[in-house]
Amino acid sequence: MQTYRHPGRSSVRRPRTLLAAGLVAGLLALSGCGASDSASDASTGDSKRALGTAERGAADAASGKAEQGAGGAPSQRKKSDALPSGTHVIRTATLAVEVKNVPKAAAVARSVAEGSGGLVANEETERVDDTHEMSHLVLRVPQGEYDAVLKELAGTGKLLSRTSSAKDVTDQVVDVESRIATQRASVARVRKLMERAGKLSDVVTLEGELSSRQASLESLLAQQASLEDRTSLATITLDLSEPETAAKDSDDDPGFLDALAGGWHAFVTVLLWLAMAVGAAAPFLVALAVLLLLWRLLRHRLPGRRKPRTPEAAGSSPAPPAS
């Protein structure tokens, strides 16, 4: 017995089967794309992390090499980094040293200053009372050699006095640098305005403003140069002197010529004193001589000074004539 199949049912089932198969294939394709995308994202993230790790490792290695090349061992470099950086200090010192020979000591001081990388800013030497010399030197030495130079200069003779000072000007240096940057920006703005100005009055006004701001900028640059010079080089003032009473040698004993010169000096001195005494007494001597002369002239004319007549003189008088 044969079974009869209706032709319409089989034709309806085939499209449904094809549609289900298409949906399954689409889902599989979407899941595969999502998996591939997530895998690619994961691989990209991993590669970025690996690149960052490699870059950090290379940077650390480079910094380690730089530290070893610049400061030796890494531990030494860390110690140096612990020191304060960016500090600006002005150092000055004054030394007074007594030496046996001033010219030689001055030459040594010049050599020490120039050997440390510094210079001699000023030098004055004079001879006092034709017996000893004195020298005044102003030395400029690098900050790193300041203590060593001071120690060496103090050891050239007998140290009489020593004063030193240090002034921190870091805030002043930072302030000047900030003001310079601000002033430069201000000058640049005024120049841009001058380029855009169309009226003559505006140009004249901007030129005056530009001149004023440039003058302020130059003043700030001069302050910066002065601070840089004083903080990079320390100033040492050195006063050298010889003993006032030097020991005399045996060949400096006085001789015949010295004795003759001394005697002549004493003779001239006595004559001068006698002349002064005579000059002082001359008015009194003249007055006395005048009085003595007057007394001799007038003594015979005074009544009390006439001599009385004696009897012999009276009897021997001539007789009167006879009549």
What confidence tens digit (pLDDT) does each residue in 166-214 have? 999 999 999 999 999 999 999 999 999 888 888 888 888 888 989 999 9
Q: Which amino acid type is present at position 207?
A: E
Residue 112 in any domain: the answer is yes
What CATH number is attached to the domain comprising 148?
Answer: 3.30.70
Q: Is 74 among the domain residues?
A: no
Q: Are 95 and 161 in the same domain?
A: yes
The per-residue b/e assignment along 41-79, b for 16 or more CB within 10 angstroms, e otherwise, is eeeeeeeeeeeeeeeeeeeeeeeeeebeeeeeeeeebee
Answer yes or no: is 251 within a domain: no
Residue 204 lies in a domain: yes
Angle between helices 146-154 and 102-115 (to 10 degrees): 160
User: What pLDDT is attached to residue 85?
Assistant: 59
Are 135 and 110 contained in the same domain?
A: yes
Q: What is the DSSP string of 283-305?
A: HHHHHHHHHHHHHHHHTTTSGGG
In terms of domains, do 94 and 164 share one?
A: yes
* In a domain? residue 22: no
214: alpha, beta or left? (left if phi > 0; alpha if psi -120 to 50) = alpha
The pLDDT value recorded for residue 59 is: 38
| Same domain? 185 vs 203 | yes
Q: Write phi, then psi, for 320 (nearest 5 degrees).
A: -70, 150
Question: Quick one: 165 and 205 in the same domain?
Answer: no
Q: Is residue 47 in a domain? A: yes
pLDDT tens-place string over residues 31-50:
444 444 444 344 334 433 43
CA contacts within 13 A on the Cβ side of 262: 6
Residue 8 lies in a domain: no
Which residue from 225, 220, 228 is spatially nearest to 185, judged by alpha carbons? 220
Give the tokens for residue 42: 């994961």
Q: What is the pTM of this model?
A: 0.48
Indicate the residue among 186, 206, 241 that finishes a domain.
241
> What is the C-alpha separation between 239 and 96, in angstroms, rounded?
5
- Judge whether 153 and 238 are in contact, CB under 8 Å: yes
Q: 122 is in which domain, residue-wise?
A: 89-169+235-241
- 96 and 165 share one domain: yes
Show Cβ contacts of residue 182 under 8 Å, excluding neighbours closer than 6 positions: none
Q: Which residue has the tokens 């005048």?
A: 290
Instruction: For residues 108 and 159, state if they share a domain.
Output: yes
Determine the Cα–Cα distance for residues 258 and 280; give it in Å rounded to an integer.
33
Residues 162 and 96 in one domain: yes
Kindly state whether residues 155 and 182 are assigned to the same domain: no
Strands (DSSP E) along 109-261, which ranges? 119-128, 132-142, 158-168, 233-241
**Which residue type does 323 have?**
S
Domain total in the chain: 3
How is residue 32 written in tokens?
Answer: 């595969």
| 138 and 186 assigned to the same domain | no
In a domain, 81, yes or no: no
**CB 155, CB 108: distance < 8 Å:** no
* 162/194 same-domain check: no
Label the pairing between strands 233-241 and 89-98. Answer: parallel
Pairing of strands 89-98, 158-168: antiparallel
Note whether 100 and 132 are within 8 A (CB): no
Tens of pLDDT along the chain (323 residues)? 444 444 444 444 444 555 555 554 554 444 444 444 444 344 334 433 433 443 344 334 444 433 343 333 333 333 333 335 578 999 999 999 999 999 999 999 999 999 999 999 999 988 887 778 899 999 999 999 999 999 999 988 999 999 999 999 999 999 999 999 999 999 999 999 888 888 888 888 888 989 999 999 999 999 999 999 999 999 999 999 988 764 444 445 567 777 888 888 888 899 889 888 888 888 988 888 888 888 888 877 766 555 555 555 445 555 555 54
